[in-house]
Structure 1
């Protein structure tokens, strides 16, 4: 599979009367755009090809679905009033854009040195990040959005899968509702978990669709956590951070895992 074949495949799968395609040979990217609004998205073909080499057709199915949903949402006329239960916080890396593709400021909060909190309107199969234009249209203030979103994240189920590895207990939250990583904002949940931790409580959000909690009992636990977080980060559709956090005194401190199992605070 090369860029030319992948480009042709995507254009065939995404063919719509209202969408246009443009290929940037130098950057090896394909842009899909709505002809009426000129809103669209650009995807990097080498990344998709790399995933196709491992997952084959499943990789194409995933990116096609992602593009279809994103363009549909991007060009929809959104309303917040009456949809308060559909507003949630989403975790992103600090490298994530603070403006929409149209240059409109997104609503966000700083979270840790590695992460930010953005706010989204859930649309069922996808969601749309809330920007300043939507707030002005609805005549809402930012504090209202934040309060509603934090309340809603606390209402979501926090069912965990547990696994014992080399004397350490790993907990995984993977409900695939788009807000798994966002559960890191549920302070009461984190505090409850910390009460059952025998060693050191570590937390990781390598990508959007997983939250990892660890009861680190020995040095090997740090190594396993570092390797696991990097693997999840590399395979996630929406990567966040390959670093982990220590949860202590109701605070999250990013850490590096150095050499043979030695954690260091990211000062």
Structure 2
């Protein structure tokens, strides 16, 4: 039996039934929304995406979606504090196209990073996290500088274990701890300096998506081509894509580069 958006809506209605929730369906947008009756806070799901996942993975895809929805609703309905939670505040890397405010219109705390990336801050809640907005800072009486200092300290405390692969005499290192902060490790300057000190050639770094940090010891022209292909592949497959452009790490700076086939990269003029 072929799954349709209407059938998927009925499945979600059954799974998410509860007196505290209100659900709605917009036929013209093919979207499904569930929200708290009391506050109107909630999330909107594009049903064609869910149907596609269901056709690939069956009930497991709906199970996973249900978990994500209930976790998101739980977080929305909680009162969050920063004081006493300092050890659970981390930086997260996002593309510069990422939203700068929440759906409710609250400005997200952030700082510029490179021409391709921006740093946001997350309060880790275990199975998920909440991006920190300015209203939370105001409530706590915290400054953006304080959030940045705490988050920077915490990212340095994360383990930097990696897997290594050698291709055409170039060495590639992959940090993929699946803790939500793999790409964030690009902000650990001590780690980058250590990798640069041990590199035989030029150190390149890439954050194609949230759940991986790629470091490359580029020792010949072929290495740039391999890195470009690798970064593009990871970018296309990532759950939260960031950028398909790698960076050259030089003099404690990250310069986005366009990699030209068989050539050394040209630095992005914006970098």
Same fold, TM-score > 0.5, yes or no: yes
**TM-score of the superposition, structure 1-length normalised?**
0.91
Unaligned runs of 5+ in 1: none
Q: Report the counterpart of residue 83 of structure 1 in structure 2.
A: 85
The 2-side partners of 1:133 and 1:93 are apart by 23
Give the Å deviation of 1:259.
3.9
Q: CA RMSD in A?
A: 2.0
1:188 aligns with 2:194: no
Q: How does 1:1-267 map to 2 (within 5 A)?
A: 1-260=3-262, 263-267=265-269
Count of matched residue pairs: 267
Relative distance call for 1:17 and 1:210 in structure 2 (3 A) is farther
**TM-score of the superposition, structure 2-length normalised?**
0.90
- Of residues 219-228 and 208-217 in structure 1, the stretch that sits farther from structure 2 once superposed is 219-228
Give the Å deviation of 1:136.
1.3
- What do residues 111-143 of structure 1 show as CA deviations (whole Å, max 9, x unaligned)? 111111111111111111111111111111221
Relative distance call for 1:152 and 1:122 in structure 2 (3 A) is same
Unaligned runs of 5+ in 2: none
Q: Indicate the SS of the match to 1:195.
A: helix
Select the structure of larger CA radius of gyration: 2
- Of residues 173-182 and 27-36 in structure 1, the stretch that sits farther from structure 2 once superposed is 27-36
- What do residues 202-248 of structure 1 show as CA deviations (whole Å, max 9, x unaligned)? 11111111111111222332222222222222222222112211111
The 2-side partners of 1:249 and 1:188 are apart by 13
Give the Å deviation of 1:201.
1.2
